[in-house]
Every structure is written in structure tokens, then in C-alpha cells.
Chains A and B, each alone.
Chain A
Amino acid sequence: MTEQRQFGESDHEPLAADDILSEAIGQWREEMPAADLWAGVATRLEPRTAPRRTQVSFTLPQLAMAASLLIAVASGLTWLAARQPSSAVEAQPTVVAQSESTGEVEGGIVNANFADAQFNAAVTDLEQILHDERDRLDPRTVLVIERNLKTIDLAIQEARMALNDDPANAYLNSHLADARRRKLDLLRHATTLASAGGN
């Protein structure tokens, strides 16, 4: 076997333009399969279910206890606040007012903010764009988007209801933040798709 290198060749550099291999690669035609291969793929695709949401349920005594605790804590905070000068009260950090959009984690808990104005404004804007442009989308695509939005909205609603009783619950906060992110992502994709004419 010829081991002598061609002049100027370096094996870890691109081939020279006048190399017979460059010419051969340039002429190496793209081909298509003789038959459509999709059927053989489709039959092997296992249905993928959406990620299962963990059901959060509480017994009546648990809810009653949580409500009592919440009332007690709220009363205590109100009493403390009433005893402090107003300027001091204003300076207190709000425990659950972290912006989830920044993904801030404090003590392992992602705090969800129920009244995140930025989130609501973004959702409103994107929903308006989607509403205006939806005629440009394939109806089947619209159906898929709406179905997914409903699922996400339901998850957000459930998380909010559960957080009403357990505002410091790390899982619920994380779940809500995740659901809201997914809603924004889906709306962004949908509006991009609609703006591009559904192509």
C-alpha cells in the first residue's frame, strides 16, 4: 500500500480542491429511497402520552387545618404590620412576590406570583395576535393549539387553587411556574406559526 503522502496534504485538514477525492465527493449524488419509508416508521411509533400531571388532592380535615393555619398566619402578619410604622411595612420583602419569569429560586422554592403583570400582559398580547391571525393557520393546527392551551390553563387553574391553601408548597409553586412557562412557549410558537402563514 502506498504510504507516501501527497504533497501538502494534512490528514486533519480539508481536502485540496484539486484532489481526486474532492471531485468525487462533489459528484456524489444525493439519492432518494426507491420506496416511501414512512409506513415502516409509522407502524413502529408508540403513542406518546402527555406527561402525567400529578393529582394534588386534600382531605377535608387537611383543608380545614390548612385554612385555619392560613388564617392564623395572616392574622399574625396583619397584627405585626399594624404595629410597625408604615415605612417599615413597605420595606418588608414580599415573600411570594418573586418573578417566576426570572426563575428565581429561594431556599429551594420557586415562588409563583399570582398577579404577575408581565406574564398576564404577555399572554394577552400573544392571545390577541393569535386571535387576529388564526385564519392563516390550518384548522387542524388550531385545534391542537387550543386543546393544548386548555390543558395548560386547567393545570394553571388547579395549581392556583391548591396554592390558595398551601402558598409555600414548593412543588405547587414550581408546577404553576412551569405551566405558565409552557403556556407562554406554546403561544409564542403558535403566533410565530400564524405570522409565517402556517407554512
Chain B
Amino acid sequence: MLVDDVVLATQGDAAAFERVYRAHMPRIFNLARRMAGPDAADELTQDVFVRAWQKLALFRGESSFATWLHRLAVNVIIERFRTLGTARERFLADSEAVLEVAHARRTKHLDLSMDLQVAIEQLPHGARTVFVLHDVEGYKHEEIGDILGVSAGTSKSQLHRARQTLRGLLRKEA
């Protein structure tokens, strides 16, 4: 049972932790793919589980393990964005300029799923993060603000711009 595997993993049982990994990996991998793109998803997924192993002792069971792991994954991915050269204060500010460029790149695609994957990769990290967390993962603006260290209003503004840009990219040309 997964709950018990978490307990055993907390006590240092690597076999139990592998079972935890197998159960949660698909969701974490897809979160990483959506937030950071397919090229970075493998490495980020591994980073998340290594971090989870290191931090397991801090999991107190106040939330479900899946929720705890998801939040940890979001933090790991955002840290990666920042270490890639997107300074914290520029994390969202840059989005404004890049969104303008992205909006101009309309391309024709065959299905919406592929479209969204391609379109979202044209968004800057900040706008992509807000869009994925809010519209795909169901986070609230207040939670996104806490995670990114910005106000809820900034998150709302970014979401608006991201949605508009994505709609423009997705809309098939006549």
C-alpha cells in the first residue's frame, strides 16, 4: 500500500521509495513536461524524486503525499528556471515582452493537443508557469503568488496575457 511505502521510504527503505516513484512518476513527469518542455522533463523528474528522498523526513502527513510531492515538484521546476538565468525579479517581467513575440508566431497544426504543447513552449517561463498551474493543475492565484513570490494580481495579469497569446496561437488560420 502506497501510504505504507511512504512510511517505509521515510525510514530509508529504497525499495519502498521506488514503489512510491513508480506510482507518482507519471504525474510529475507530465507536470515537468508541461512547465519546462519535453527536453527538460526527464532530468527534472529525476531531480524531483531525488529532492523528495532528501526531504521525506519533513513530510508530516498534514496533506496527502501526492499534494506534498506536487508542490515540491513545482518548486524544483521553478528553481531550475531561475538558475537558468531568469532572475527572480525578471521571472515574470520578461514575460510581457516575450508574449508579444510569441503572439506573432502563428503556426498551423493538426491537432489541438500538439498545438498546445508547441504553443506553450513559446511562452516565457513565468507565463507558462502561471498558465499550467492555474488552468491545468488547478492552483489558485494566491497559491501561485506564494510559490512565485508575487502578488495574486500579478498572477492574474500573467494568466490573462498567457491565455490571449495561446488562443492566438491555437486558432487555426482560415
Contact = CB atoms under 8 A, between A and B. Distances in A.
B29 A31 contact: yes
Nearest to B112: A24
A27 B14 contact: no
SS class, residues of chain B in contact with chain A: helix
B14 A33 contact: no
Interface residues of A, number: 49
A80 interface: no
SS class, residues of chain A in contact with chain B: loop
Interface residues of B, number: 56
B21 A21 contact: no
12 contacts: A2-B103, A20-B112, A24-B115, A25-B136, A28-B113, A31-B33, A35-B42, A42-B14, A44-B46, A193-B4, A196-B1, A199-B1
A189 B7 contact: yes
B64 interface: no
A135 B116 CA distance: 50
A37 interface: yes
Interface stretch (B72-80, B83-91, B121-129, B161-169): B161-169
Contact of A3 (B21, B152, B164): B164
Most buried by A among B13, B33, B141, B163: B163
Contact of A21 (B41, B53, B166): B166
A199 B2 CA distance: 8
A47 interface: yes
